[in-house]
Chain A
Amino acid sequence: MINITLYRKVGSFAENKDFAREIRTKEIIPALEKNKQVVLDFKNIDSATQSFVHALISDLMRRYGNEVLDKICFKDCNKTVQKVISLVVDYMQERE
């Protein structure tokens, strides 16, 4: 299992898509390729934009299918962050 602490990289307002892409390509994808469980730790993150979360996880769902959600956990998310993540996860499953 790999734990990725987002606050250290993105601060309390997670909005920078460049950081999201970097975390996805350099940390999440390599871990998934090794068949590891990934914990995305949102501790101390007050808010996250839809664009940030989209850049963080949408490509994973496209690449590995919806089953990738069985390998990813979202930890310590406040209510709003949970809603943003759910929004992205839900609309990615509605896509073509």
Chain B
Amino acid sequence: MLCWLSYMKIHLPNSAFLGNIDPFLRGFDEKHPEKLEITANKKWIAIHPVVLSMVAALGLTVDPSEIDCEKLEASSKGYLARMGLYDFLNIKSDIKFVEHEPAGRFIPLTQIKNSKELTRFVTDVIPLLHLDPKQSESISHIVTELVRNVLEHSGSKYGAVLCAQYYKKSNSIRLGIVDTGMGIKKTINFSYPTSTDIEAIRLALIPGITGTTKKEGGTMLNAGAGLFLIKSIACVNRDFFMIYSGNGMYKLLKRRINQKIKLHSNPFEDKHSKEAGLPYWQGTVVGIDITLDQTKELGIILDFVWDTYKQAIKERKKKKYKRARFI
């Protein structure tokens, strides 16, 4: 009877999308990472791909014999199977489902562990979403920058876990990319000592700041622009963007339709919510929505990005200027 107490627990709720994901995150129990218990709402499960990616990524860290996945009863359980969750966790399931052709609908759970796999994914899998070129360009950029962050900075032996889903009603793509690596705080601390996860997330989202160097402009391989670019795509397109690492979570909220586009280098100046005392996620979780009707061309977004990037660097340089002391 005491045995169940020693499981890491994750519960798939009735609904968890980026707008209402906070209770799901608060309910995750990260203690005892050697075992995983998965439970779910009995009636209906409607979840953002980032939730599925989190479950799959956790599952990779645990021996399949140590995963206890309750028999799902919700009528939407077939969705989890079709997205490849059971195959991913390497556990048996008797769930029957209609195997819809994924093309144009979704990208099932996928693990990317190296640069070659990423290139193959971007070349072969993203086109299966059958998107307009300007839309698929933004998605390819988002996936590439996020997965490269995982491969280069996370130190996770499991690489990145991701999946995506097209939602016809909202004409949007929702995407989740997750790793179980060292997390943002440890990465950013190589160059910028911080004491909290939420401050590390804030720094990681500021253009020109990277864990690889303190110098403006970054190193020969990292500029510190990737996460800022992704947050900017979401901001310009008026979409949700969420990043969760350690105990901290930052969420870019949707802008109002008539609101003027303005990017901020400091993510806390954008319309956002944040939480600092969440259950500890060992690694980094990123979720993003891309509403296709609103998707601006990447070129337009880059104009905004450059103006903000330049301003941010100028402000930081100004702070470092020494002034003459007159006594």
Partner of B309 from the list A18, A51, A55, A91 (CB cut-off 8 Å) is: A91
Complex Cα spacing A79 to B314, Å: 26
Answer yes or no: B216 CB below 8 A from chain A CBs: yes
Complex Cα spacing A16 to B147, Å: 11
Complex Cα spacing A5 to B122, Å: 21
Cβ-defined contact, A95 with B115, below 8 A: no
Complex Cα spacing A47 to B302, Å: 13
Answer yes or no: A96 CB below 8 A from chain B CBs: yes
Interface size on B, residues (CB 8 A): 36
Cβ-defined contact, B115 with A58, below 8 A: no
Partner of A58 from the list B223, B299, B303 (CB cut-off 8 Å) is: B223
Question: Which residues of B come within 8 Å of A, CB atoms?
Answer: 115, 118-119, 122-123, 133, 137, 140-141, 144-145, 148, 208, 215-218, 220-223, 225-226, 229, 297-299, 302-303, 305-306, 309-310, 313-314, 317
Partner of A51 from the list B148, B297, B310 (CB cut-off 8 Å) is: B148
| B123: nearest chain-A partner, CB-CB | A11
Cβ-defined contact, A16 with B208, below 8 A: no
Answer yes or no: A64 CB below 8 A from chain B CBs: no
Say whether chain B's binding surface is mostly helix, strand, loop, or mixed. Answer: helix
Can you add 15 more A-B contacts, CB < 8 Å, to A13-B123, A80-B137, A96-B216? A11-B123, A15-B122, A16-B119, A49-B144, A49-B145, A50-B223, A54-B222, A54-B223, A54-B225, A84-B302, A87-B305, A91-B217, A94-B216, A94-B217, A94-B313
Cβ-defined contact, A91 with B221, below 8 A: no
CB distance from B19 to the nearest CB of A (A): 28
- Chain B residues whose CB sits within 8 angstroms of the CB of A15 once the complex forms: 118-119, 122, 140, 144, 148
Cβ-defined contact, B148 with A17, below 8 A: yes
- Chain B residues whose CB sits within 8 angstroms of the CB of A59 once the complex forms: 220
Cβ-defined contact, B222 with A80, below 8 A: no
Answer yes or no: A32 CB below 8 A from chain B CBs: no
Central interface residue in A55, A62, A83, by most chain B CB within 10 Å: A83
Answer yes or no: A21 CB below 8 A from chain B CBs: yes
Partner of A80 from the list B119, B123, B217, B299 (CB cut-off 8 Å) is: B299
| B220: nearest chain-A partner, CB-CB | A59
Complex Cα spacing A42 to B75, Å: 50
Answer yes or no: A28 CB below 8 A from chain B CBs: no
Answer yes or no: A41 CB below 8 A from chain B CBs: no
Answer yes or no: A88 CB below 8 A from chain B CBs: yes
